[in-house]
């Protein structure tokens, strides 16, 4: 029996790791342990509860206004203790967060093999997304088996010299998660769903994004804009300052995953700087304005990279609303990010190797 420890700590990792953990737990050849870093708290707990995942360990590292250094150090420290206690055959991490980076580094130092889920995403700009582009590249240096969501991600890893026979294209487990939350019938209501939280945008970039959103709200009063605001106090401050008090903008607390997916399914379009939301929008055929200067999800789908420029955001929105043919062409673009069977594929591969 192989012992696998899955380590994660933020909302997006939980969304994408929980379906895989459920799949691994079904198989008798694995002993699966879950170690939460607690990098996030309420955002994380609401997802693990939804999937019915109980943690074996919880490092509970989150602090208000945590710094990258502080949380990384505490996760490495906690992970060392957990790995020494459990002596796993494999540590599974996901994506590019501080939790994933710190856990993979601890495993590497302890000579424990690392499996990387959602491996190979790159912008090749170390400052965008920050610090995730560093984290994901560093994790690739520690991992001995990589699960790439797309062929393009696999090619990135091969270009960087990783052994092709240890890289598997599996699709993204985010589509497995979408299949888990019962979806409602899709509609295209006059609803704009917004999310924004990236560290590199906090400040000028985020101000420009929110100013564009405010202009849209005023110019299109028949549109309702819903923004579940990330709990990061720095994000909340700018959101309330620029978007607060607008009649057709609802600033709300983060929604639980089911609610968020159902709102997404009802939206006309999405604006986001999130990674996971880009993939979900593509999977549900929702046009998505990507509020970043660079994206690692270049495969397309229903994504339009608009950056943080106020004019560009506004004109992309106007085109989607005014030009039905354009809207439909984006909406009907094929989804490159997965087919809902990624967890099964990853578990099959782990069983085989
Ligand atoms: C982190 C990830 C980022 C991911 C994002 C998802 C890193 C470096 N960044 O972002 O890749 O896109 O999570 O949301 O790992 N907070 C709460 N409750 C929560 C979660 C956060 O109060 O449940 C507040 C805390 O004050 C915390 C702040 O939000 O200090 C920021 O959280 P943090 O995990 O540091 O967020 P990011 O680095 O922005
Ligand atoms: N999400 C959610 N509630 C919200 C906003 C987002 O459940 O109010 C989910 C969303 O469906 C996606 C994930 O959070 O699966 C994305 O997380 P986030 O945007 O925080 O991080 P990223 O993907 O950018 O790393």
Pull the structure tokens for residue 334: 């094929």
Nearest to 130, CA basis, from 199, 73, 72: 199
User: Residue 352 Cα, ligand 2 centroid: separation in angstroms?
Assistant: 32
Pull the structure tokens for residue 259: 């609610």
CB burial class (10 A; 0-12, 13-18, 19+) of residue 85?
exposed
Note the pLDDT of residue 103: 98
List of the chain residues with pLDDT < 50 = none
Ligand 1 neighbour 65 (Cβ under 6 A) = yes
- Catalytic residues, which ones? 96, 118, 132, 197, 199, 230
Note the pLDDT of residue 300: 83
User: Residue 263 Cα, ligand 1 centroid: separation in angstroms?
Assistant: 22
Note the pLDDT of residue 298: 87
CB burial class (10 A; 0-12, 13-18, 19+) of residue 39?
buried
Comparing 2-172+338-352 with 181-331, is the CATH topology the same? yes
Note the pLDDT of residue 189: 86
Q: How far apart (Å, rounded) are the C-alpha atoms in residues 90 and 113?
A: 5
Instruction: Write the class of the CATH domain 181-331.
Output: alpha beta
User: Residue 201 Cα, ligand 1 centroid: separation in angstroms?
Assistant: 14
Q: How far apart (Å, rounded) are the C-alpha atoms in residues 176 and 155?
A: 23
The protein residue whose alpha carbon is closest to atom 28 in ligand 1 is: 232
Note the pLDDT of residue 288: 97
| pTM for this prediction | 0.97
Note the pLDDT of residue 185: 65
Ligand 2 neighbour 11 (Cβ under 6 A) = yes
User: How is the chain split into domains, by residue range?
Assistant: 2-172+338-352, 181-331
Note the pLDDT of residue 184: 64
Helices 275-283 and 173-180, packing angle to 10 deg: 70
CATH superfamily of 2-172+338-352: Glycogen Phosphorylase B; (3.40.50.2000)
């Amino acid at each position: 029996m192989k012992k696998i420890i899955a380590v994660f700590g933020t909302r997006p990792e939980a969304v994408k790791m929980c379906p895989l953990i459920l799949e691994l737990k079904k198989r008798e050849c694995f002993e699966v342990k879950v170690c939460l870093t607690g990098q996030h708290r309420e955002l994380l707990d609401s997802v693990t509860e939804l999937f019915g995942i109980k943690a074996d360990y919880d490092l509970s590292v989150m602090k208000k206004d945590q710094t990258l250094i502080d949380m990384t150090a505490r996760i490495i420290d906690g992970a060392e203790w957990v790995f020494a206690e459990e002596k796993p055959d494999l540590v599974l991490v996901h994506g590019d967060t501080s939790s994933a980076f710190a856990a993979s580094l601890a495993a590497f130092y302890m000579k424990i093999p690392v499996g990387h889920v959602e491996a190979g995403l790159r912008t090749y700009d170390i400052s965008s997304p920050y610090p995730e582009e560093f984290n994901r590249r560093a994790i690739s240096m520690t991992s001995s088996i990589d699960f790439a969501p797309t062929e393009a991600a696999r090619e990135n890893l091969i270009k960087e010299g990783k052994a092709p026979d240890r890289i598997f294209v599996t699709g993204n487990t985010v589509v497995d998660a979408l299949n888990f939350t019962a979806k409602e019938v899709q509609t295209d209501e006059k609803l704009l769903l917004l999310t924004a939280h990236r560290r590199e945008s906090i400040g000028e970039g985020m101000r420009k994004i929110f100013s564009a959103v405010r202009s849209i709200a005023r110019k299109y009063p028949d549109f309702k804009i819903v923004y579940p605001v990330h709990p990061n106090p720095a994000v909340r401050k700018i959101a309330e300052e620029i978007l607060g008090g607008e009649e057709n903008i609802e600033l709300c607390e983060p929604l639980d995953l089911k609610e968020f997916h159902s709102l997404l399914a009802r939206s006309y379009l999405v604006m986001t700087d999130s990674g996971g939301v880009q993939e979900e929008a593509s999977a549900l055929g929702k046009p998505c304005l990507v509020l970043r200067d660079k994206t690692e999800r270049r495969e397309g789908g229903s994504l339009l990279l608009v950056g943080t420029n106020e004019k560009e955001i506004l004109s992309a929105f106007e085109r989607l609303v005014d030009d039905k043919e354009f809207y439909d062409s984006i909406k009907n673009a094929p989804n490159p990010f997965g087919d809902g069977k990624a967890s099964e594929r990853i578990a099959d591969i782990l069983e085989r190797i």
